[in-house]
Amino acid sequence: DGGITQSPKYLFRKEGQNVTLSCEQNLNHDAMYWYRQDPGQGLRLIYYSQIVNDFQKGDIAEGYSVSREKKESFPLTVTSAQKNPTAFYLCASSIYTPAPYGYTFGSGTRLTVV
Amino acid sequence: AQTVTQSQPEMSVQEAETVTLSCTYDTSESDYYLFWYKQPPSRQMILVIRQEAYKQQNATENRFSVNFQKAAKSFSLKISDSQLGDAAMYFCAYRRGETSGSRLTFGEGTQLTVNP
């Protein structure tokens, strides 16, 4: 079955460490997205990519980095510059053409700073 | 920039009753799409219903329907015959229609409790 796989489900980061969250999809979707979810703030866009080897900053990109070397993969690195990284992170994908489609979401990664 | 507002942080409903969740949005675009997503305790985001802005007819999916008021920029979700499994966080979302791969903008969410 096609879908989006995020790993790991839970991740713990020490102060000053970089960590990478994985997102893989086999839906043949062109566009992929990373959102951060905090209580009471909905989902906020971190980065998105519409095609391979290209990506754009979202609303809260500071302290994060991404790459899009393959269509299927869009990993997110949370760097030590991100001062408050504890949150729930959701990856999503969609087809590229204008259409009344929403996203397909992964099951999320819960990141905690220890 | 587009914004989406959900003014009800929490709502509750009795099982088998009807509940309406509110959503307003701000945009200068004429072509766009609106969505309601459900996030149960598993935190998996599930698409509930979508509406194309150019369609006057309100979308319906089984027990879920919307009241789309384009002039008022309002997009409410009505859940009929509420079930315990409907308990979840509900997010309203907006997407521009003319730009390929355009992003979704989400509201803050409404936590729905269904009482037996």
Name the residue with higher pLDDT: A99 or B13.
B13
Q: What is the mean pLDDT of residues B98-112?
A: 83
CB contact under 8 A, A98 and B52: no
A40, pLDDT greater than 90? no
Closest-CA distance of chain A to residue B1, Å? 11
Q: What is the mean pLDDT of residues B99-116?
A: 87
**Band of pLDDT at residue B67, cut at 50, 70 and 90:** very high
Residues of B with CB under 8 A from a CB of A: 6, 9, 33, 35, 37, 42-45, 47, 50, 52, 91, 93, 95, 97-109
Q: What is the mean pLDDT of residues A34-60?
A: 92
Dihedral sign for Cα atoms in the order B32, B38, B46, A85: positive
Nearest chain A alpha carbon to B51: A100
CB contact under 8 A, B102 and A98: yes
B98, pLDDT greater than 70? no
Burial B25-55, CB ≥16 within 10 A → b, else e: bebeeeebbbbbbbbeeebebebbbbbbbee
The chain-wide mean pLDDT, for chain B, equals: 93
